[in-house]
Amino acid sequence: MTTPAIARDAPDAGSDEWTLITRTIAGDRTSARTLYDRHAKRVHRLVYRICGDEELSCDLTQDVFVRAFGQLAKFRGDAAFTTWLHRIAVTTALNQMRKVKRIRAHEEALGDDDHHAAPAREADPDLKERLSAAIDALPEGLRMTVVLHDVEGYTHGEIGEMLGVAEGTSKARLFEARAKLRVALADFA
């Protein structure tokens, strides 16, 4: 039986979580279910914020947990379990979105400013909705960064790991994303 080399002092790899992970690897469904119950809503919200579709989010959340349980023995505890799990979630959701983007390339280019331009103020005067539309209008890399940092609260280091970019790149993207948002919402100054 392979046991995960989880660092005992990892942020959320407490003894309880450690026990659940070990038992899940050993095939204990109850422990797996407990882990799922603890994290599923958060994972679901994360993938929903990436893909924006309820049904797809449920599907992706299931994919995330199937993948995570399948790879649990490889979890070394270098990061918190939550971070590790959310990294799988982001990767899974992004891969799915890229497939969708390829399939729909002839219909619209996701992340293209021209196609996702925020609606005119007259059409949608609500600032929160305008903000959401402006975030959605950002190119994918910028949108992911602003969602993960400003909305989900991840650090640039964590975002860098999730997206496979340098920490500095994440910071630069956030700067650029905010600049674009300020421009998009300029008439609300």
What is the smallest separation between the CB atom of 181 and another protein, expressed in angstroms? 6
Taking CB under 8 A as the rule, does residue 41 contact another protein? yes
Taking CB under 8 A as the rule, does residue 69 contact another protein? yes
Taking CB under 8 A as the rule, does residue 105 contact another protein? no
From candidates 9, 37, 114, 122, binder to another protein by CB under 8 A: 37
Give 123-132 contacts, CB < 8 A, sequence gap 24+. Answer: 127/185, 127/188, 130/184, 130/185, 130/188, 131/181, 131/185
Of 27, 50, 15, 32, the C-alpha closest to 144 is 50
List Cβ neighbours of 61 (8 Å cut-off, separation of 6 or more).
40, 43, 44, 47, 89
From candidates 131, 167, 169, 172, binder to another protein by CB under 8 A: 131
Taking CB under 8 A as the rule, does residue 49 contact another protein? yes
Taking CB under 8 A as the rule, does residue 182 contact another protein? yes
Taking CB under 8 A as the rule, does residue 65 contact another protein? yes
Which residue stretch of 76-84, 115-123, 126-134, 156-164 sits at the interface with another protein (rule: CB under 8 A)?
126-134
What is the smallest separation between the CB atom of 104 and another protein, expressed in angstroms? 6
Whether 46 and 90 have beta carbons less than 8 Å apart is answered as yes
